[in-house]
Structure 1
Amino acid sequence: MLKAVIFDMDGLMVDTEVISFQCYKDIIESYHFPFTLDEYIQSYPGRPLHTSIQFIKEHYQLDFQVEEKIQLFKSLEEKYMKKDGVQLKKGLLPLLQYLQDHHIQTIVATSSIRERADQILNSHNIMKYFDDIVCGNEVKNGKPFPDIFLKACEKLDVQTCNALVLEDSEAGIQAAYDAQIPVICIPDMKYPHEKYIQKVEHIYTSLEDVISYLENHI
């Protein structure tokens, strides 16, 4: 029986991936390397910021302090968010209301830090729909490792077989699969490769489509 739904945040609930792409693009191109959307989609969505900055340093063989670039990324992100805002994904509010009406627990499991997650979610007044939140700094290993989803189940005191993960990224799909939690994918920038498609329950185009799945599992 389904008792809890675990939500990723970036790219699933809020349309932040395009902002993240621009931040990484600014950092990488400051070293005169080109950076395309395809490159971003291939290696960055769903992964912790620290992991991605470390990847940039090693991939481009650059000499910089990782923490300094993390702070630069945060500054750039804040600038773009203030300029363009962050929109909720289609179907999120109907789904959250459905889960609340049916007394299903909900939790956010995001690679983001708590301050950023709170800022984004509170700006849309949706934290009221969630029972808890797990952030990247609360676990040892970020996605694609399963730690964050296992922590989410621990916080809600539910077994993994009674939970469901909603994700948009391949890293998140892998993390849920390794946590042995059923996962539904709502792709954002990238449709998952075949090996990840085999690991999901369903792929939907909108969060609102998840309601039809839930009607057969609660």
Structure 2
Amino acid sequence: MPLNALPDHLLSTPQEPVRGVIFDMDGLLLDSESLAMDALVAAGNDLGYDVPLSFCRGMIGVPADGCRQMVHETYGSDFPLERFFKLQEAHLREFVDTGRLILKKGVEPLLDLLDRHQIPRAVATSSSRYRTDHHLKLVGLFDRFDAIVTRDDVSRGKPDAEPYLTAATKIGIPPEYCLALEDSHTGARAAIAAGIRVIVVPDLLAPTEEIRDNALAIVKDLTIARVYVEHHAG
């Protein structure tokens, strides 16, 4: 199935109504993953370490504690872990505040559709509360969500189901009537574990076979996911 179309059965067969939508943030709402990768490389350079993009991409969709474990296991206990992530945050903030952060294609039309149908929506992200609020406010999306669940708000991050279950609870919609929108396999696994159907819009990582087998669809951008929501809005 091409990425510019939904599988035919998603529009031609009965589906549970979509009564709530839960969005990932980085790489899904915001074109921020490439900025985060560049910031990691820059932080490594500041400290005299070669931190290749191939390694950084392994952190996509992984909560901060998991990223710290990855760096520790790869670079050893002498690596200045906390300094590294503080420098990364500083570089990322510079990139964002100088105008490099933009919305992904289709975000605003989809949110407008949810407004028209009065469908509640939430963010469930692996980013910190500080980063999440700052980024969403900067691009004018902060007030367009009924709930925002960050890594700071849950005890277990993605791929655990907790972020998605928490978001569904906060918007008052049972998981089976929610739709998750994700870009990473880690996030998609979290939605699936929560019993929430998921449409994946890949960003920097290609979906795994596991995700291809379990997601509703893999699509090019949110304009295509919007077709599903409009067809099944409940």
Fold-level similarity (TM above 0.5): yes
Counterpart for residue 180 of structure 1: 195
Moved more, 198-207 or 43-52: 43-52
Matches within 5 A, 1:3-152: 3-29=19-45, 30-36=47-53, 38-41=54-57, 43-64=58-79, 66-152=81-167
RMSD: 1.6
Q: Which runs of 5+ in 2 are unaligned?
A: 1-16
Please say if residues 97 and 129 of structure 1, whose CA atoms lie closer than 8 Å, have aligned partners that are also in contact: no
Match for 1:33: what amino acid?
D
Determine the C-alpha separation between the residues in 2 that align with 1:25 and 1:53.
15
Residue-by-residue CA offset, 1:55-84 (whole Å, 9 max, x unaligned): 111112242454333322211211222234
Determine the C-alpha separation between the residues in 2 that align with 1:54 and 1:20.
17
**TM-score after normalising by structure 2:** 0.86
Determine the C-alpha separation between the residues in 2 that align with 1:27 and 1:211.
37
Please say if residues 95 and 101 of structure 2, whose CA atoms lie closer than 8 Å, have aligned partners that are also in contact: no
Select 1:159's aligned residue among 174, 197, 200. Answer: 174
Q: Which runs of 5+ in 1 are unaligned?
A: none
Match for 2:157: what amino acid?
G
**TM-score after normalising by structure 1:** 0.92
How far apart are residue 85 of structure 1 and its match? Answer: 2.2
Residue-by-residue CA offset, 1:150-187 (whole Å, 9 max, x unaligned): 11011112111011110000100111111111001001
Name the SS for the 1:6 alignment partner. strand
Match for 2:33: what amino acid?
E
Determine the C-alpha separation between the residues in 2 that align with 1:32 and 1:153.
41
